[in-house]
């Protein structure tokens, strides 16, 4: 870091000194400037990290041995190895050893900012929390946000600058670059192309503009496999200009989603979940529940949350949209009358809620459908109420697919002499028919900046290791345009460069720190007077005040959307492409947490599969069965547009019958040690003329079998009948609920506290408890990853998951109800219930799991001998066992990542949810040190604080005024398996759905209630 | 004739039987003893340090307060080992060229941290919080002993779990007025028990013996 | 005192009988004659013979009872002390003194101690181990563990007289031979 | 009195004719004292020892790599480990039953089989004891943390846990069985001491015999002690398998939580035990020509005991099913349905075939007295009892309360290695035993010789006159 930045930062700090605040802005430069720490870092990372990759069996064996010895060390009577203390030479301000600091920054999702607070221990970022002051976060994050921390410490990240595989220095790169740039200067940049992903960063945009100014003839292309092309085109169709829509779900009573997975993905999904769930929650006995209609071509969590769901092939949805529009009185053609029974009541419902309804279209639908949605909203008077419009958020909105096409054409035509790829992995994720790779090879000089030595890096002359988002300075816009300053939490572990620094080099600034680039840009924006103050605030808050884009009034231009673009009905099978729900478009492929995160609906991990409907499966004779080594299924061959792919088939109840869904993001060749060679590459089938779906799919059973790692015993009729008999998830329609608010409690009787041959224990002082509102939970998975990050939970790999040895402390059970074709889907997060009559404790021979005086079910790792008796006797099966040495005791970077407040468990011990006891203890100690009682809400468990739906409430059930006590007094409150008299401290609030009374039963979800006989489906 | 053994064998046989039985018991006792011995706990074993820092001199002699160096003790789980800067505050003038302090100066020059040997080393699975203790009237010397008399620091107490429990079960036997917490030379008064009882009430000191208090 | 001199170096006299019934008969006569320090040696336990020698009932049962009670108290005591006094823990909401559970281990310790007492007690009462014993000095005594039946009168018996006792023994029915047992 | 007992069929002798004290001593003693080791023995021992090596491999691998090499998982936290533990400990029970309970009942026919039955008990318990230690995730601490000792953590075992009950029950059982067995051996070792010509053996057996000289005063205390031990071992053996059954019965897993478990586990144990005794006795008497001592009467009596206990076990199965239905409890009913029709239904029906159907063929005297058939049945029952434990443990666990966390189980090659390994350990010990110690109790056989006069007037001796 350069001296000058160091200077004015310390100045900054002096300014800051007065202002307190919960989170402090701290200059990483200073910490890193301490050579001691620098050496420390160097000692710790590059060399040893590379050493780790040595896969020789010997080290493995030693590792295991070492671990066994380490374990022996856990027994009380052996000596410990001598430890060293390495204090600072000059300790940075604000740093109190043993206490974390929180810094505001943002993580990027498809180029859009989601605000976060990062917990940092002595300069090591360890945990990500949401930033309550950020519009896209509101204090929560999604699973991707949580997993960013693992991405930062990923030992497989690219660590060097390479030229044709040879390691080079930054200086060498700069010198090598000069002639090429000089040549382009002469041509005005005619042969110069820059390819980025979606860019919202004002600074980066400014740099690019400056570059284009220097090279007028150069071109800036953008591409990422999941873009907003259709939405943008739709807006242009509807309003004649490119606009970005923002939805106000809180205001909407009736919502129609045309394949829009607004809860599952997108730059605003965290906020939208909050708003949506806010309208699903029932305080007391009355509620203004919203009602959600979903038409979709592939099951999503949004569809799972729907009150009425219509599974259709993606190509048929436009027809339904037109039918709805026609019903609303819009002059449209090509309406599909086939679903009149469903559309009729829907239209009535929408009409009834004019101005308080909302129609959304998904990116996977063509522009016309988006336009129709806008038109319908116009017709319903929703414009400006439940949906508002702003100028596009992207720095330079364009049709990315077209942009990529042009680039490929130019490259193939040999017009490109110098290509700079700033992030992204087009070689892997471009549509197959563009043949990008071949064209790329025509370019004489190809430069790639990326986090990994990936497929694209492999085909570029120069690869520059990119600095991670948590390592570099930048800025970015959120879905509503508000800008966040992105600040680094740690010096680049592997000495990477940020896009700003690379562009600075191209602009001729040599090696200019990203910090300066960003600051300079904002100096320009904030103006000189009180720049420091405003900059301070911006960095401190994590968002630039008042930077959100202003709403724009809109007028509908009756346009081309009236007539259907293509004829809707196409016979035969259809293929649908979707971003993977846990690893996105493939950018998270090397992230173990996300790989092992069960997909919300299929509960598959570590790979993708051809998702198909029970009926189609029956037709093809697909047999899925669970075995001790995993779920076995048939390997099918998909033939589509001349390409073929062998994929394991997986049966998904509620999938449209004549279509097959394939998730993008797998089949990576060069993702890293975690992500390479998993699943199949859907991009190999994806075509530019149908990014999201296409007709003419042929499917064939190969006769081979495949093993998948599914965390939940695959769906069977047995499941459904047993689930309903056992009243595990309890749910009712709003009407039923109003008739009998206590329906949930009456489903099974909870034994009274005194029903025991022993006197009941009384808890003086605190008694911790939790409630989970099943009405609010949408199954987004954020809590699972948050828990994994907070509690140092290891990743175990596909084989172990397949054997049922996954380690996540909180899991989300998925239950179907109502048959195979279009079932109701329920999510139930299950973690340790902290039973007052804990069955696990009684059977532990060494008292390694016992009750604390506050009613926590403590698990004492260092006392555990690993009999697994507790797990056998746990009716909830929430206990997790270290069958092997799952924790990575070697990789230095992963050691830095761990939460220092939680023991790192080793081989042979049981573990489970602790209600984040480390947070409880810290809060208790702080309160005691300040001689004050604990405040309600002062303690938030990791799962609670991350939950976008605010479905989880934790607190003191002995405190009559606490929120959790309030929740538990709700009539919907019930204990899972409480009839066993385990007296769980964690309880659930039954879910209440709000179906349209006029909707014919057999048309909604749970339609096929009667079709249970069709059980021959997946259960084979 | 069928005599197999010599007379003496009778005594021998009986003796060995007795020895066998006693030996079994003795073995267990021995293990118990060893696991509590300084060999296992390192109790009272002075440690070599990169710099022969003497608490006796600084605390006993100069009367420097614990918190001058261990700054975080009142607010954090760890007391904190002082950065080299803290040493140099004085030693840039005093003993500025003593050879013994060369490592300190070197550290300050080069910016490479001093590497001290950890004396009080709890297992990784034990979470001790200094602030929680000093704020409730547990004196430094209660666990760390008379550091003002230690030229080279050694571990005063066994740090065995049973030792922790002694105090967590009966704090009144050890608590002292908050004012005396940092007084290394503090001697508990004759009426410690009743004083302790008062302090427990006064400071609302409720030490817990639940596992998750220290293990998580 | 002449007897004393005479018996020095002599442990006693041993008569070997032809079979079980002969030795029982012989033993009866020996006891009638007033000999008290008498012992029989047989390949297997013989109730008749012990009756014939009027042996007292064994005290072993009382010892074993004591051992059992001790074991029970120690076992239950340990459980109560460790669960209620030493480290009281709320385990699964059960009371500290969960007596129904504590019965089982206490039962086992009872058995353990009783059995231990039975074996050690038996050895102690029999003065075992005692690998050396004068009777082994008799050449033919090896048969005692096979099919030999022996009756020994010890020299320390007040009525013992080297010559008379020998004559008396030889007079008994079914005696194969009488031999002297050296110390 | 022997005629008073039901097992005493007139005509069927418990000892071949024409035996004297001397011939009994020689016939049994020579098996041990013979100079040259028989080829058959060497061959058998070699095989057994080979299997034992398999176990060593399995253990080393287990210690270094982790318990994960076994098939256990969540939700099936116990698999082969506890199945085999229960199986072995069950087998052990017959030994104690024969030596203790039959002794108290004055079943003289027990005399010729109790010695090696007790040995079998010891070795089976040794095999069983292997599992509770090595099925844990951290055997190196489990080995002693399960015992109550004054550790530096001030912690004690949880005496509410059935596993601790196991520790106490099994260790007591092992100790008492060993004592009982040894006490029985003392007089016989004295016999060997006096019988052998070799100086070395005289010393070795002499030490073991503790200087036993057959004094009538010693016999007096000895018999008392032997009877007391029998009296103590009887409730003990019942308690041991009761405690083992508590491992399951006190849990709340459907299929475990049943009050019938204690009695039916004990019966099952005796059942399996007698099967194993037969499995060992039949080849033993054939190879060492001990037909005179282990007669058809013994085999037939054992067959009867097996059948009786087999019926008790069958009753247990019926009650389990009945209670599941009668309770009206969703979980219980599903558990039973799943046992009979679920993924592991095959195991269940094989178990019924092995444990209920086959033994009932023993009603027919012709089958009951056919030695090959008896041997076959014995093997079948051993398999059946193993299956029973599989069904109880795995089938109950794999689909318990929350369908979302149901799972499947299969033993891995390491599971099998450990299992076969313990069989190797068992056989190895047994081979060594028959080579160096009298497999039949000589002094007890002598008491039942005609004319022994062991039990005073009115005993067989008088009758024989």
What DSSP string describes A587-642?
Answer: TTTT-HHHHSSPPTTT-EESS--EEE-HHHHHHHT--BEEETTEEEEEEEEEEETT
Tell the residue number behind the tokens 């039954």, with chain if given: A990
Burial of D336 (0-12, 13-18, 19+ CB in 10 A): buried
- The SS3 call for residue A245 is strand
D440 occurs within a structural domain = yes
Pick from C11, C37, C111 the residue to mutate for testing the D interface (most D CBs within 10 Å). C111
Asked if C138's CB is within 8 angstroms of B1's CB, the reply is: yes
A668 to chain B, minimum CA–CA distance in Å? 38
The answer to whether residues C121 and C64 belong to one domain is yes
Tokens (6 digits) for A84: 């060293």
B-chain residues near A901 (CB < 8 A):
127, 216
pLDDT per position as a tens digit, A721-751:
888 888 899 999 998 988 898 999 888 878 8
Interface of B with C (CB under 8 A): 1-10, 13-14, 17, 209
Reduce the DSSP state of residue A868 to 3 states and report it.
coil
pLDDT at A286: 60
Q: Is there a domain that residue D12 lies in?
A: no
Q: Is the pLDDT of residue D35 over 50?
A: yes
**Residue C52 sits in the same domain as residue C68:** no
Give Cβ neighbours of residue D332 (< 8 Å, ≥ 6 apart).
Answer: D254, D255, D323, D324
What's A812's DSSP letter?
E
Which chains reach chain B with 3 or more Cβ–Cβ distances below 8 angstroms? Answer: A, C, D
Q: Do C121 and C71 fall within a single domain?
A: yes
Query: In whole angstroms, what separates CA D160 from the centre of its chain?
Result: 27
Closest CA to A811 of A786, A834, A841, A781: A781
The residues, ordered by sequence, that sit 6+ positions from C98 with a Cβ below 8 Å of its Cβ are A758, C83, D159, D160
- Distance separating alpha carbons of residues A44 and A38, to the nearest angstrom: 10
Mean pLDDT of A664-685: 93
| Residue A744 vs residues A832, A950, A970: alpha-carbon distances, Å | 21, 21, 10
Are A867 and D136 an interchain contact pair (Cβ–Cβ within 8 Å)? yes
Q: Is the pLDDT of residue D456 over 60?
A: no
Quick one: closest CA in B to D195, which residue?
B2
**How many whole angstroms separate alpha carbon A789 and alpha carbon A128?**
8
Q: Strand, coil or helix: what is A402?
A: helix
pLDDT tens-digit map of A760-814: 888 989 999 999 999 999 999 999 999 999 999 999 999 999 999 999 999 999 9
Whether residue A470 lies within 8 A of chain C, CB to CB, comes out as: no
Contact of C89 with chain A, judged by CB distance below 8 Å, is answered with: yes
Quote the CA–CA distance of D267 and D273 in Å, as a whole number: 10
Interface test with C, best of B1, B11, B24, B208 (most C CBs within 10 A): B1
> What is the distance of C-alpha A16 from the center of its chain?
34
Query: Averaged over D229-237, what is the pLDDT?
Result: 92
Are A594 and A582 in contact, with CB atoms under 8 Å apart?
Answer: yes
Q: How many domains does chain C have?
A: 2
- Segment C45-53 mean pLDDT: 88
Q: Are residues C108 and C20 in the same domain?
A: no
Give the lowest-confidence range in A860-864, C179-183, D288-292.
Answer: D288-292
> Given the DSSP bridges, would you call strands A254-258 and A357-361 parallel, antiparallel or unpaired?
parallel
- What pLDDT, on a 0 to 100 scale, did the predictor assign at position A95? 81
Contact C93 A758 (CB under 8 A): yes
Q: Which residues pair with A650 in a beta bridge?
A: A611
Q: How far apart (Å, rounded) are the C-alpha atoms in residues A211 and A203?
A: 12
Bridge partners (DSSP) of residue A217 are none
Write down the pLDDT at residue A345.
93
Q: How many residues in total does chain C contain?
A: 183
B152 contacts chain A (CB < 8 A):
no
The answer to whether residues C120 and C150 belong to one domain is no
Instruction: Write the CATH number for D292.
Output: 1.20.1630.10
Question: Is A815 an 8 Å CB contact of chain D?
Answer: yes
**Contact flag C91-A758 (C-beta cutoff 8 Å):** no
Instruction: Give the mean pLDDT of chain A.
Output: 86
- Shortest Cα–Cα distance, C146 to chain A (Å): 51
Residue D10 lies inside a defined structural domain of this protein: no
C159-178: average pLDDT: 89
**CA distances for D431 relative to B212, D105, D130, D233, angstroms:** 52, 30, 19, 25
Strand partners, C181: C12
Q: What does the alpha-carbon distance between residue D269 and residue A334 come to, in Å, rounded to a whole number?
A: 77
| Residues from chain C contacting residue D174 (CB–CB below 8 Å) | none
pLDDT of residue A285: 56
Is residue A639's pLDDT more than 90?
yes
Mean pLDDT for D157-177 is 94
CB of A216 less than 8 A from some CB of D:
no
Tokens of D89: 């400990």
pLDDT digits (tens, 9 = 90+) for A696-727: 999 999 999 999 999 987 777 777 788 888 88
Give the whole-angstrom CA distance, residue A917 versus residue A636. 47
Specify whether the CB–CB gap between C91 and A842 falls below 8 A: yes
Domain interval for residue D210: 21-451
Higher pLDDT, A5 or D369: D369
Does any domain span residue D121? Answer: yes
Lowest mean pLDDT among A282-286, A863-867, D316-320: A282-286
**Domain match, C152 and C64 both:** no
Q: How many Cβ pairs within 8 Å bridge chains A and C?
A: 36
Helix (H/G/I), strand (E/B), else coil: A101: strand
Residues of D in contact with A600 (CB under 8 A): none
Among A58-62, B101-105, D395-399, where is mean pLDDT lowest? Answer: A58-62
Alpha helices in A512-613 (DSSP H): 514-526, 531-541, 592-595
Say which residue, C179 or A570, is predicted with more confidence: C179
- The answer to whether C10 and C180 are in contact (CB under 8 A) is yes
A628·D408 Cβ contact <8 A? yes
pLDDT of residue A938: 94
- Any chain A CB within 8 A of the CB of C95? yes
State the average pLDDT over residues A561-582. Answer: 81
Domains: count for chain D: 1
User: In whole angstroms, what is the distance from residue A325 CA to residue A330 CA?
Assistant: 5
DSSP 3-state of B154: strand
Task: Say what the pLDDT of residue A48 is.
Answer: 34
Tell whether omega for the bond before C129 is within 30 degrees of 0, i.e. cis: yes
Tell me: pLDDT of A550 over 60: yes
Q: Which comes out higher in pLDDT, residue A44 or D156?
A: D156
Answer yes or no: are the C-beta atoms of A272 and A406 closer than 8 Å. no
Q: How confident is the model at residue D7 (pLDDT cuts 50, 70, 90)?
A: very low
Q: Which residue would you say has higher pLDDT here, D419 or A65? A: D419
- pTM of the complete model: 0.90
Provide mean pLDDT across the span A623-630: 91
CATH number at residue C159: 3.30.70
Rounded Cα gap, residues A75 and B160, in angstroms? 12
- Write down the pLDDT at residue D450: 76
Question: Which residues form the domain of C91?
Answer: 60-125
Q: Nearest-CA residue of chain D relative to A719?
A: D403
CA dist., res. C15 & res. C19, Å (int): 12
- What pLDDT score was predicted for residue A27? 33
User: What's the pLDDT at A98?
Assistant: 85
Of B1, B9, B209, the CB nearest to C132: B9
Residue D455 — very low, low, confident or very high, per pLDDT cuts 50/70/90? Answer: low
Q: Does residue D7 belong to any structural domain of this protein?
A: no
Dist. CA D2–CA D297, nearest whole Å:
14
Distance from CA of C126 to the nearest CA of B (A): 12
Same domain for C13 and C45, yes or no, is yes
- The more confident residue out of A188 and D1 is A188
pLDDT in tens, A475-524: 999 999 999 999 999 989 888 999 999 999 999 888 889 999 999 999 98
Counting one residue from chain B and one from chain C, the pairs whose CB atoms sit within 8 A come to 32
Model pLDDT, residue A10: 39
Q: What is the rounded average pLDDT of the residues A518-533?
A: 88
Q: Please report whether residue D175 resides in a domain.
A: yes
Using DSSP, state whether C127 is helix, strand or coil. coil
Q: What is the pLDDT of residue A1001?
A: 66
> Which helix H or strand E contains A150, and what residues bound it?
helix A143-153
| Chain mean pLDDT for chain D | 88
> How many residues are recorded in chain B?
216
Triad B109, B110, B112: Cα angle to 5°? 120
Contact A884 D141 (CB under 8 A): no
Rg (CA), chain B: 25
At D21 the pLDDT is 85
pLDDT in tens, A437-474: 999 999 999 999 999 999 999 999 999 999 999 999 99
Task: Report whether A482 contacts A167 (CB < 8 A).
Answer: no
B10/C132 touch (CB, cutoff 8 Å), yes or no: yes
User: Please, which pLDDT band fits residue A243 given cuts at 50, 70 and 90?
Assistant: very high
pLDDT of residue A258: 95
Partner-chain residue, chosen from D214, D446, D456, that has the shortest CB–CB distance to C47: D456
In which element (H, E) is residue A205 found?
Answer: helix A202-214
Name the residue among A72, A804, A880 with its Cβ closest to that of D407: A804
pLDDT digits (tens, 9 = 90+) for A174-202: 999 999 999 999 999 999 999 999 999 99
* C82 and C172 both lie in a single domain: no
Residues C54 and C65 in one domain: no
**Which residues pair with residue A664 across a beta bridge?**
A579
The verdict on residue D418 lying in a domain is yes
- As a dihedral over the C-alpha atoms of residue A589, residue A590, residue A595, residue A596, rounded to 10 degrees, the angle is 180
Question: Which residues of B are less than 8 Å from C121 in CB distance?
Answer: none
B162 and D152 in contact by Cβ < 8 A?
yes
Q: Is the pLDDT of residue A541 over 70?
A: yes
Instruction: Decide if A832 contacts A876 (C-beta within 8 A).
Output: yes
State yes or no: pLDDT of A47 exceeds 70. no
User: Is pLDDT of A294 > 80?
Assistant: yes
Residues C48 and C68 in one domain: no
Contact between residue A587 and residue A450 where contact means Cβ atoms under 8 Å apart: no
C89 and C143 together in one domain: no
pLDDT of amino acid D13: 66
Report whether pLDDT(A1) > 60. no
C97-147 confidence digits (pLDDT tens): 999 999 999 999 999 999 999 999 999 999 989 999 999 988 888 888 888
Parallel, antiparallel or unpaired: strands A192-196 and A219-222: parallel
As to burial, measured by CB atoms within 10 angstroms (0-12 exposed, 13-18 middle, 19+ buried), residue C27 is buried
The nearest CA of chain C is from the CA of A607 a distance in Å of: 40
């Amino acid at each position: 870091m350069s001296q000058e930045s160091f200077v004015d930062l310390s100045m900054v700090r002096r300014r800051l000194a007065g202002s307190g605040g919960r989170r402090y802005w701290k200059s990483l430069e200073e910490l890193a400037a301490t050579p001691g720490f620098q050496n420390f870092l160097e000692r710790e990372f590059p060399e040893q990290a590379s050493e780790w990759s040595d896969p020789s069996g010997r080290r493995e064996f030693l590792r295991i041995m070492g671990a066994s010895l380490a374990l022996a060390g856990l027994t009380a009577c052996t000596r410990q190895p001598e430890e060293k203390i390495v204090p600072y030479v000059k300790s940075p301000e604000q740093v109190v050893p043993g206490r974390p600091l929180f810094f505001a920054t943002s993580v990027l999702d498809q180029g859009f900012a989601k605000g976060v607070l990062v917990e940092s221990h002595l300069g090591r970022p360890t945990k990500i929390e949401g930033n309550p002051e950020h519009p896209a976060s509101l204090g929560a994050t999604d699973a991707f946000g949580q997993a960013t921390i693992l991405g930062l410490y990923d030992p497989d990240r690219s660590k060097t600058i390479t030229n044709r595989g040879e390691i080079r220095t930054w200086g060498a790169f700069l010198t090598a670059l000069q002639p090429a740039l000089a040549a382009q200067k002469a041509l005005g940049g005619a042969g110069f192309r820059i390819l980025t992903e979606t860019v919202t960063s004002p600074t980066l945009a400014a740099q690019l503009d400056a570059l284009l100014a220097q090279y007028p003839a150069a071109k800036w292309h953008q591409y990422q496999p999941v873009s907003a092309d259709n939405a943008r085109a739709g807006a242009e169709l509807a309003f004649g200009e490119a606009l970005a829509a923002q939805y106000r779900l809180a205001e909407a009573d009736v919502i129609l989603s045309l394949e829009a997975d607004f809860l599952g993905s997108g730059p605003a999904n965290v906020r939208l979940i909050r708003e949506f769930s806010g309208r699903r929650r029932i305080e007391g006995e009355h509620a203004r529940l919203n009602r959600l209609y979903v038409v979709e071509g592939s099951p999503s969590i949004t569809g799972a949350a729907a009150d009425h769901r219509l599974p259709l092939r993606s190509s048929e949805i436009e027809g339904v949209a037109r039918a709805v529009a026609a019903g609303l009185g819009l002059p449209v053609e090509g309406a599909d009358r086939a679903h009149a029974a469903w559309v009729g009541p829907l239209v009535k419902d929408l009409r009834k809620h004019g101005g308080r309804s909302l129609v959304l279209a998904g990116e996977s639908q063509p522009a016309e459908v988006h336009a129709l949605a806008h038109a319908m909203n116009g017709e319903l008077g929703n414009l400006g109420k439940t949906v508002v419009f702003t100028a596009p958020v992207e720095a330079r909105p364009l049709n990315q697919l077209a942009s990529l096409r042009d680039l490929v054409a130019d490259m193939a035509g040999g017009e490109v002499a110098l290509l700079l790829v700033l992030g992204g992995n087009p070689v892997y994720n471009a549509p197959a028919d563009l043949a990008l790779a071949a064209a790329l090879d025509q370019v004489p000089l190809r430069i790639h900046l990326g986090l990994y030595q990936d497929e694209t890096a492999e085909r570029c002359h120069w690869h520059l290791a990119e600095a991670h988002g948590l390592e570099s300075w930048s800025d970015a816009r959120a879905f509503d345009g508000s800008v966040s300053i992105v600040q680094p939490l740690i010096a680049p572990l592997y000495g990477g460069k940020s896009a700003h620094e690379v562009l600075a080099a191209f602009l001729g600034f040599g090696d200019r720190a990203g910090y300066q680039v960003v600051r300079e840009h904002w100096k320009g924006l904030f103006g000189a007077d009180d720049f420091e103050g405003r900059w301070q605030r911006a960095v401190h808050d994590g968002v630039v005040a008042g930077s959100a884009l202003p709403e724009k009034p809109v007028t509908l231009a009756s346009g081309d959307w009236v007539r259907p673009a293509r004829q809707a009905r196409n016979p035969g099978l259809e293929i649908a492409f979707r971003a993977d729900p846990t690893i996105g478009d493939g950018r998270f492929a090397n992230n173990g947490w996300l790989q092992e995160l069960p997909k919300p609906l299929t509960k598959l991990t570590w790979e993708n599969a051809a998702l198909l409907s029970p009926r189609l499966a029956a037709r093809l004779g697909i047999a899925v069965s669970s075995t001790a080594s995993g779920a076995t299924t048939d390997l099918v061959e998909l033939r589509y547009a001349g390409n073929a792919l062998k994929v394991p088939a997986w049966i998904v109840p509620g999938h449209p019958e004549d279509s097959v869904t394939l998730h993008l993001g797998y089949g990576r060749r060069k993702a890293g040690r975690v992500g390479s060679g998993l699943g199949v590459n859907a991009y190999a089938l994806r075509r530019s003329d149908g990014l999201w779906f296409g007709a003419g799919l042929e499917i064939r059973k190969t006769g081979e079998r495949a093993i998948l790692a599914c965390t939940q015993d695959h769906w069977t009729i047995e499941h459904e009948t047993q689930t309903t008999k056992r009243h595990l998830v309890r749910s009712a329609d709003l009407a039923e609920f109003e008739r009998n608010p206590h329906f949930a409690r009456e489903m099974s009787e909870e034994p009274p506290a005194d029903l025991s041959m022993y006197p009941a224990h009384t808890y003086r002082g605190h008694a911790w408890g939790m409630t989970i509102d099943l009405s609010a939970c949408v199954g987004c998975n954020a809590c699972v990853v948050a828990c994994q990050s907070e509690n140092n939970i290891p990743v175990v790999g596909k084989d172990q998951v397949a054997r049922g040895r996954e380690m996540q402390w909180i899991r989300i059970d998925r239950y179907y109800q109502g048959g195979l074709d279009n079932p109701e889907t329920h999510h139930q997060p299950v973690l340790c219930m902290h039973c007052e009559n804990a069955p696990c404790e009684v059977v532990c021979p060494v008292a390694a799991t016992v009750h604390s005086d506050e009613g926590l079910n403590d698990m004492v790792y260092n006392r555990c001998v690993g009999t697994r008796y507790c797990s056998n006797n746990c009716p909830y099966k929430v206990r997790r066992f270290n069958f092997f040495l799952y924790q990575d005791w070697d990789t230095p970077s992963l050691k830095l990542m761990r939460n220092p407040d939680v023991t790192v468990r080793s081989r042979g011990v049981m573990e489970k949810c602790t209600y984040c006891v480390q947070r409880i203890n810290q809060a208790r100690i702080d309160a005691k040190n300040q001689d004050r009682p604990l405040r309600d809400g002062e303690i938030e468990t990791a799962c609670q604080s991350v939950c976008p739906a605010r479905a989880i409430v934790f607190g003191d059930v002995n405190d009559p005024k606490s929120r959790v006590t309030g929740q538990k007094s709700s009539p919907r409150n019930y204990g899972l398996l409480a009839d066993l008299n385990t007296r769980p401290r964690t309880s659930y609030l039954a879910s209440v759905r709000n179906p349209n009374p006029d909707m014919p039963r057999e048309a909604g979800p749970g339609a096929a209630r009667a079709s249970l006989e069709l059980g021959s489906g997946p259960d084979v | 004739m069928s005599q197999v053994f010599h007379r003496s064998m009778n005594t021998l046989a009986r003796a060995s039987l007795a020895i066998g039985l006693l030996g079994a018991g003795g073995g267990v006792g021995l293990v118990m003893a060893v696991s509590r011995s300084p060999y296992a706990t390192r109790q009272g074993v002075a440690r070599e340090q990169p710099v022969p820092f003497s608490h006796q001199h600084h605390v006993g002699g100069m009367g420097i307060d614990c918190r001058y160096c261990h700054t975080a003790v009142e607010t954090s789980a760890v007391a904190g080992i002082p950065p080299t800067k803290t040493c140099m505050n004085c030693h840039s003038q005093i003993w500025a060229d003593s050879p013994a302090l060369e490592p300190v100066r070197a550290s300050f020059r080069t910016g490479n941290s001093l590497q001290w040997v950890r004396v009080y080393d709890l297992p990784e699975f034990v979470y001790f919080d200094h602030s929680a203790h000093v704020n409730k009237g547990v004196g430094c010397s209660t666990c760390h002993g008379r550091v003002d008399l230690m030229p080279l620091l050694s571990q005063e107490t066994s740090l065995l779990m049973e030792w922790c429990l002694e105090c967590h079960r009966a704090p009144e036997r050890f608590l002292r007025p908050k004012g005396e917490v940092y007084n290394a030379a503090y001697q508990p008064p004759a009426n410690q028990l009743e004083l302790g009882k008062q302090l427990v009430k006064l400071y609302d000191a409720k030490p817990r013996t639940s596992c998750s208090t220290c293990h998580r | 005192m002449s007897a004393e001199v005479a018996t020095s170096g002599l442990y006693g006299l041993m008569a070997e009988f032809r079979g079980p019934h002969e030795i029982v008969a012989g033993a009866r006569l020996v006891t009638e004659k007033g000999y008290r320090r008498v012992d029989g040696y047989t390949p297997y336990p013989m109730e008749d013979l012990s009756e014939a020698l009027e042996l007292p009932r064994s005290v072993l049962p009382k010892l074993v009872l004591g051992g059992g009670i001790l074991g029970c108290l120690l076992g239950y005591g340990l459980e109560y002390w460790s669960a209620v006094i030493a480290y009281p823990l709320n385990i699964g909401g059960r009371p500290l003194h969960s007596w129904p559970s504590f019965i089982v281990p206490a039962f086992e310790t009872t058995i353990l101690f009783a059995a231990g007492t039975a074996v050690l007690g038996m050895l102690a009462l029999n003065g075992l181990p005692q690998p050396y014993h004068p009777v082994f000095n008799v050449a033919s005594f090896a048969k005692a563990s096979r099919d030999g039946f022996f009756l020994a009168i010890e020299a320390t018996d007040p009525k013992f007289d080297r010559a008379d006792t020998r004559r008396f023994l030889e007079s008994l029915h079914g005696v194969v031979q009488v031999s002297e047992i050296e110390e | 009195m022997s005629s008073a007992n039901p097992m005493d069929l007139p005509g069927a002798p418990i000892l071949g004719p024409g035996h004297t004290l001397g011939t009994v001593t020689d016939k049994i003693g020579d098996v041990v004292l013979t100079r040259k080791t028989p080829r058959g023995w060497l061959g058998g021992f070699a095989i057994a020892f080979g299997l034992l090596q398999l176990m060593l491999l399995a253990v080393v691998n287990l210690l270094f790599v982790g318990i994960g090499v076994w098939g256990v998982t969540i939700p099936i936290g116990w698999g082969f480990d506890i199945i085999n533990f229960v199986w072995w400990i069950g087998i052990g029970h017959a030994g104690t039953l024969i030596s203790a309970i039959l002794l108290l009942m004055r079943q003289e026919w027990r005399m010729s089989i109790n010695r090696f039955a007790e040995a079998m008990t010891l070795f089976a318990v040794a095999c069983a004891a292997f599992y509770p230690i090595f099925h844990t995730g951290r055997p190196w601490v489990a080995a002693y943390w399960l015992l109550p000792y004054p550790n530096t953590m001030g912690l004690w075992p949880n005496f509410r846990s059935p596993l601790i009950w196991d520790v106490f029950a099994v260790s007591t059982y092992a100790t008492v069985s060993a004592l009982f067995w040894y006490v029985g051996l003392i007089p016989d070792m004295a016999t060997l001491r006096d019988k052998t010509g070799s100086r070395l053996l005289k010393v070795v057996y002499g030490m073991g015999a503790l200087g036993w000289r057959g004094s009538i005063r010693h016999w007096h205390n000895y018999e008392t002690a032997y009877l007391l031990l029998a009296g103590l071992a009887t409730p003990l053996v019942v308690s041991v398998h009761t405690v083992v059954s508590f491992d399951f019965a006190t849990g709340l897993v459907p299929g475990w939580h049943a009050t019938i478990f204690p009695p039916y586990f004990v019966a099952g144990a005796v059942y399996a035990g007698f099967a194993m005794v037969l499995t060992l006795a039949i080849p033993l008497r054939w190879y060492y020509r001990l037909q005179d001592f282990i007669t058809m009467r013994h085999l037939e009596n054992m067959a009867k005991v097996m059948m009786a206990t087999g019926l008790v076990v069958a009753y247990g199965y019926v009650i389990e099913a009945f209670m599941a239905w009668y309770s009206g409890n969703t979980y219980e009913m599903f558990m039973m349905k799943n046992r009979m029709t679920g993924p592991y239904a095959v195991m269940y029906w094989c178990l019924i075939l092995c444990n209920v159907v086959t033994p009932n063929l023993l009603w027919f005297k012709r089958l009951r007295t056919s030695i090959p058939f008896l041997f076959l049945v014995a093997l079948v029952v051993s398999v059946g009892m193993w299956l029973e434990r599989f069904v109880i443990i795995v089938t109950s666990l794999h689909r318990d309360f929350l369908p979302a966390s149901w799972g499947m189980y299969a033993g891995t090659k390491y599971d099998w290695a450990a299992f076969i390994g313990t069989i190797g350990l068992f056989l190895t010990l047994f081979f060594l035993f028959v080579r160096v110690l009298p497999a039949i109790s000589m002094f007890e056989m002598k008491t039942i010789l005609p004319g022994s006069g062991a039990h005073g007037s009115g005993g067989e001796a008088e009758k024989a006159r």
